[in-house]
Chains A and B, each alone.
Chain A
Amino acid sequence: MDNLAKHLLQRLMRRIPASMLQSTLDKWGRLTAEKRKSLDFTQSKLTITQELVALCEESELTVKHITELEMIYDAHSVELMQFKEQFKSHLSELKRNVSVKIKKHTDEAVWIRVAWGDGLSRPNHLKATYVVHYLQTPYVFVNALSSKNKPLLLQALTLSTKHQQIKAANLSGQKLTALRDLLMRQYQQVFPTKYPSPLPESDQSISKLRIEKVQAEASANRHRMAGETFGDGMLPALQSAFFQLETKFKDPTNEAMTQRDEPFICSVKFSSSNLLESLRHCASSGIASTPVTPLLSSIPLKGRNYFVITDNVPNA
C-alpha cells in the first residue's frame, strides 16, 4: 500500500464517526469477514486506524479501494442523515412541541426517542416513546406509544423510510433482541430433509427390542419435527402468544353444539419465560401432536404472536 493510500485512509478515518465504522466496513466488503472480526471497535479511533491500515496493507489494497470506501461512507451517511432529517421534519409538521432525539448504534439500529407535548404543554420526557428501526429492513419496533400519537408516529416513519404503508406485525414481547432475532430468523434454523435417518436394516430381534425401537423412532421423529418447526438451540425469548378464536364448535360426540351456526367465542393465551422453547418441548415430548398445527407454527414462521382465527381465514 503506497503512502498516498495510507494517507487517504487515515484522513477518511478521521471523518467517519465511531458508530458508523463497523457497518461502513461491512458494506465495503474489501476485507474478509475474518479480518473484520479481528478489529476491536471498543478501542480508541487512533488504535483502530492503525490496525485497519495494517489489515489493508496485508490485503494489498490500493488508492482505488480507499476511494471506494469513501464513497460508500458518503452514501451511507447521507442515507442516515436523510432519514433523520425527514423523520424530524415530518413529525414536527404533524404535531407541535415534540422533542426528537435520534442516535445510530453500531449494529445498524437507529434509536429514536420522542417526547410528546401538544399545543399547550411542553414535551413530557417522563413518558417518552422509543422507536428502533433497522436500516435496510422493513421493520420498526415501538415501545410506550399512546393510541393518540400512534397515527402521527407511523405516518412520519412511513414517509421518512420511503415506504407506502405501515402495518402491525402482531408481534410483541419484552426483549427487543428476541423479537428482532425472531423476525430476521437469526437463530438456528433446521431444514426439513426427506430422508432424516439412514435406511433401517432388516431387524430380526425379539419383540421387546422392536417396541423400544419403535418408541425411539417415534421420539426421534417428534424431536426432529419439533426442531424443524421451532428451530434448534437457544430460541428468541417470547413471553406470550394470544389467539382470539371465533370458529364453530365441532365435536362428533356433541351433536347439539356441532349443529350450531354461531361461532364458539373463546380466547387462548400461552405464557412462559421462553414460549418457543416451551412449545418446542411440547412437540418433542408428545404433549403437542406432531406435525405441529399451523396455529402454533405460525409464531416462528410468521414472526407474530397475536392472532384472530375465524372459520373463513384459518391463519388470519
Chain B
Amino acid sequence: MNICRKAPRSQNITEKVKPEHLALLVKTEWQLSYVTPLYQFRHTQLKTYARQLSAFIAAEKQQGLAVEVGGLQNTFKVSFSVLQGLAETNDDPETVLIQVQSKPMFARQEDPPKTVWSGWLSCINGNPEYLQSLPKDFTCLPLFCSKGAEGLSSLVKSWLQRTFDCCFGPLDINQTTLQWLAALWTNCHMETNIQKLKMIWTLPVVPPLQVTYTVDSDDALELWRSTRESSAEKSRGAEDEVCIDFSEVTRFMQGLMSHFYRHFRVDLSAGELNQVSSALGSAKLNGKIKISSSRYLISIFSLLTECALLKMPI
C-alpha cells in the first residue's frame, strides 16, 4: 500500500461521465470484491455476454438454484454496458456495468422492468507498470462492486469466472484503508463541507461494546492541519502536488484517540475501527462502500483499485 498519496481533489467529472451513469454509482452502498485479470474479454462483445449471462441465470434457476428475487415466475433480463469516462489513464480499461432486471411473468406490457441486481468492473488509476506487464489477451478490471441479492451475485461471479478464467475474492477494507479515508475525507473539508467525521469502533468485551465517535468537521480539519504542519519537509508552495504521508494519518488518528482517552481512559486501539463516514460517503470493514459525492468518486475508487491490485496473486 502506498505510504504516500496525493490529497484527493474535488473533480467535476460530469463533463467526462454521463450524469445518468454517475447517478447509478453514487449514494448507493456497494459490496466490494477483487477479481483477477479477465482472459479474452472484449468491450465489443457486450451484447453477446448479456445474452449468455441471461441464459446462464435461466438455466441455473431451472435447476432449482435459489435466486430469491421475486418468485419463480420472474424472467431475468441482463444488460452489459460501458460507463465511459471513468478510466483515468491510457492503461485503464473502460468500466463495464452489468445490470439484471426482473419482470414478473404476468406483468402488464407497460410495467417497467425492475433492476434487481447491478455490478460494475473497473480499474481507476491502476498501477501502469502492472497493467503494462500483463500479457496481451488479459483485461484488468480488478475492482468489482455489487449490489442486490446475494444469490444473483454468486451467479454473475460464477459465470464471469468460467467465461473469462478469472477468480473473485472479498475486498475487505482494512484498518489502514479506513484510517486513510478518515484523513482524506477530513482533508476534503478544505474544499467541500463534510459536515461531520464519524468513526465506529468495536471493543472486544462481553457483551461487545460499540463506540461511535463523531467529530465536528471544522475541528477535525484543524487537528488534521496541525498534524501536517509538524512535518518538517512540507513545501508551502504548490499545494496541488502535496503528498500525504501515512505517518501524518497515524498522528491524526492518535490525536483523536488521545482526546478520547483523556475523557474516558479507554484505549480505542484495543478495539477495531469498523466504519468511517462523512457527508462524502461511508466505508465499512466488511467491504461496503458508499460514495455520496461524485466529486470525489475518482479519488476514492483509485484508492480502492490500488487495494484490489494488491490482492492480485502475482
On A, residues with C-beta under 8 Å from B are 243, 245, 247, 249-251, 253-254, 256-257, 260, 264-275, 277-279, 281-282, 285, 287-289, 292-293, 295-296, 309
On chain B, the residues within 8 Å of A277 by CB distance are 206-207
| A254 contacts B226, C-beta separation under 8 Å | yes
B130: CB under 8 A from chain A? no
| B214 contacts A287, C-beta separation under 8 Å | no
A-B contact pairs, 11 of them (CB 8 A): A254-B223, A257-B222, A257-B223, A265-B216, A266-B213, A267-B213, A272-B209, A273-B207, A277-B207, A278-B207, A296-B264
| B265 contacts A260, C-beta separation under 8 Å | no
Given A257-B222, A279-B209, A287 and B263 contact (CB-CB distance below 8 Å): no
Chain A proximity mask over B27-50: 1 for CB below 8 Å, otherwise 0: 000000000000000000000000
| B211 contacts A270, C-beta separation under 8 Å | yes
B232: CB under 8 A from chain A? no
On chain B, the residues within 8 Å of A289 by CB distance are 265-267
Chain A proximity mask over B232-275: 1 for CB below 8 Å, otherwise 0: 00000000000000000000000100111011111100110000
B160: CB under 8 A from chain A? no
B167: CB under 8 A from chain A? no
- Smallest CB separation, B116 vs chain A (Å): 33
| B265 contacts A278, C-beta separation under 8 Å | no
Query: What is the chain A residue whose CB lies nearest that of B260?
Result: A268
B195: CB under 8 A from chain A? no
| A268 contacts B255, C-beta separation under 8 Å | no
Given A265-B219, A289-B265, A254 and B227 contact (CB-CB distance below 8 Å): yes
> When the two chains form the complex, which single residue of A279, A281, A285, A309 contacts B263, counting CB atoms closer than 8 Å?
A309
Please measure, in the bound complex, the distance between the C-alpha atom of A292 and the C-alpha atom of B263, giving whole angstroms.
Answer: 10
Query: What is the chain B residue whose CB lies nearest that of A287?
Result: B270
B208: CB under 8 A from chain A? yes
List B residues 203-221 near A (Cβ within 8 Å). Answer: 203-216, 219
B150: CB under 8 A from chain A? no
Given A257-B223, A260-B222, A265-B219, A251 and B259 contact (CB-CB distance below 8 Å): yes
